[in-house]
Amino acid sequence: MSTSFSTRLQRIQSEKDTAVCVGLDPVPSRLPALLRDGRLQTDAVRAFCASIVEATAPYACAFKPNFAFFEALGPAGLTVLDQVVTTIPDDCLLVADAKRGDIGHSARFYARSIYENFDFDACTVSPYLGRDSVAPFLEHDGTCTLVLTRTSNDGAADVQEACTCDGTPLYRHVARTAGEWANDGDGEVGLVVGATAPDALAKLRADAPTLPFLVPGVGAQGGSPAAVMDAATSENGAVLVNSSRSILYASDGPDYAEAAADAAQSLRDALRT
């Protein structure tokens, strides 16, 4: 049996003293001018992401490539993604921000693509279709399926908080149900919980004290590092705090990689306090 995702994450976090996950969301029009010099977009994105990974890896315990930004590059986009993944060092875990959510064979092949072809350690998954959409991901030992629970976007409350199940907000019902699904698989379940809703984050940590949390929304979306750690820290539940835009685009000049490193280091330090 493979070492669990949580065990590996906690070991890396202990060794590197960081909870930072760097999101890789490359927008070609936002790349530094020196990379928009007439070269192909695929080449520019590859160079940009490789530089960001090299600069920020000392301050990160994980990287989270967002599939949408690579798929938007066209047929070559997944090749670029694969090439970027190979630049990520062994002392950082790989989280696929793919937000898959289908059933049956479709879910099984999505999981095979992410966990076997790309060799990711974790993947974000929508639970809206129920157990059928998550179970195929849990067939992969040593991985973590991160279930979208209470997300960081402005419209999250429209459904996740407004809808209830037996008097419980939907997001808390999702967390409890997802934790039960993990009992039937080889892989782990974790929760995606936004930094922009610290009260919900605290409630979910109380509901799920041992599940790993992926927490987006720090940085450009305004989430507070201190509030996140206060709400999400538990004795046995790992916390992975993601930042994308505020690190990737800390500078649009020739010093973009150095600025990204400084931003990642600053977030690492803020999460320690």
Q: Are 206 and 230 in contact (CB under 8 A)?
A: no
Q: Which residues of 178-193 are buried (b: 16+ CB within 10 A; e: fewer)?
A: bbebbeebebbbbbbb
C-alpha distance across the termini of the chain, in Å: 36
Q: Are 63 and 55 in contact (CB under 8 A)?
A: no
**How many angstroms separate the CA atoms of 173 and 191, rounded?**
12
Phi, psi angle pair for 26, to nearest 5°? -75, 120
Annotated catalytic residue within 16, 64, 99, 203: 99
Q: Is 203 a catalytic residue?
A: no
Q: Which residues of 75-98 are buried (b: 16+ CB within 10 A; e: fewer)?
A: ebbbebbeebbeebeeebbbbbbb
- The residues that bridge with 97 in the sheet, in sequence order, are 66
Phi, psi angle pair for 196, to nearest 5°? -80, -5
**How many angstroms separate the CA atoms of 22 and 3, rounded?**
23
Q: Which residues are catalytic?
A: 99
